[in-house]
Structure 1
């Protein structure tokens, strides 16, 4: 029987946000990240969507005893999608790997996009910096669509439940890359 693993491409890349064992760098081929706006909450979700011309880096980690309950609860808005055949990884044993994705039918087509949380972007980019270095974090920005949505600067009072404290060099990196993608930073009301 194959060992169950998940592929994380957002906050799950930041190993400070979970304690799933055996994390390893991996690549998901045929997918791209996008910010998805739904009616499920007032801020955007980072999700992955099929895109034959793209690939994204992330982390795989083991789900002990095939117990997906905690991860399913954490990723409550996402569907768990089998992705084993699309993932390149260093493991030599038989594994089944799933990826979480917000279904397209949950998307909100409202003209005013929900904001992206800066505290969430910070966590994701910190994970990429630590796992893949600045080049990998730059690839995160390059392989993610939806930066035209406003970015809510909630650093002073983080709204993301798994926010992390970033070093000054990390916040400077995030800020400079958001500037490069012409992100519009907005202040809380």
Structure 2
């Protein structure tokens, strides 16, 4: 706790859910805690002009909800560059919940009461298209993070709580085009394919 007690908390709901991706590309060593965030909707809406891809983004939505990992980290230049297509927006801790037992959930709320918690809000909203597709290496990175934090249920929730899936989904697994792709095991890829095949 001492190493993280003075750090702000970031709600990672995309590639930051992967411990491998955030460690190798953003020097974030801390483990995340799986939570639910009310008041935001996640969808494939964040267009990277530089990387010519579409990523998940989040926008305020009173009926929205998304799963994420609560990660202790400084919002340093490396993280700011990674999230350059977003803005860090503070989230009321009352919008954050967990499936922990009641006693632990109360402890989390007490802990959050003294913290600044941020989510990466999309700067703009554009659905994926041919010139800005969704890459499987990015999907794998997000869903592998869900699998490691909450198993298949968390990975299914990611798909169910993400809008604007469309036909512009490119299989780049053999030559990943996402620049912060996680190392994903064949076993996890098989699970991801089964979940996507059942839900999409």
TM score, norm. by length of structure 2: 0.78
Q: Tell me which residue corresponds to 2:115.
A: 95
For the structure 1 residues 108 and 140, does the alpha-carbon distance in structure 2 shift closer, same or farther, using more than 3 Å as the test?
closer
Distance 1:71 1:173 in 2: 29
- Alpha-carbon separation, structure 1, partners of 2:126 and 2:146: 28
2:137 is matched with 119
Is it true that 1:134 corresponds to 2:138 in the alignment?
A: no
2:190 paired residue number: 172
Aligned position for 2:83: 75
The 5 A counterparts of 1:136-151 are 136-151=154-169
After superposition, the Cα gap between the structure-2 partners of 1:3 and 1:108, relative to the gap in structure 1 and judged at 3 Å, is: closer
Q: CA deviation at 1:51?
A: 2.1
Tell me, yes or no, if the aligned pair for 2:92 and 2:117 is still in contact at 8 Å.
yes
Asked if the contact 1:29–1:52 (Cα under 8 Å) also holds between the matched residues in 2, the reply is yes
Deviation, structure 1 residue 22: 5.3
Contact 1:32 1:56 in 2 (8 A): yes
Question: For this pair of structures, how many residues does the alignment match?
Answer: 178
Shifted more, 149-158 versus 54-63: the winner is 54-63
Residues of 2 paired with 1:162 and 1:39: CA distance? 13
After superposition, the C-alpha distances for 1:103-155 in whole angstroms (9 at most, x for unaligned) are 2xx33479757310100000110000110110111011000011114111100
CA 1:6–1:37 in structure 2 vs 1: closer, same or farther (change >3 Å)?
closer
Q: Work out whether 1:54 is the aligned partner of 2:64.
A: yes
Alignment of 1:152-171 (within 5 A): 152-171=170-189
Mapped contact 1:43–1:115 kept (Cα < 8 A): yes
Unpaired runs of 5+ residues, structure 1, are 183-189
Aligned alpha-carbon RMSD (Å): 2.4
Gaps of 5+ in 2: 23-27, 99-107
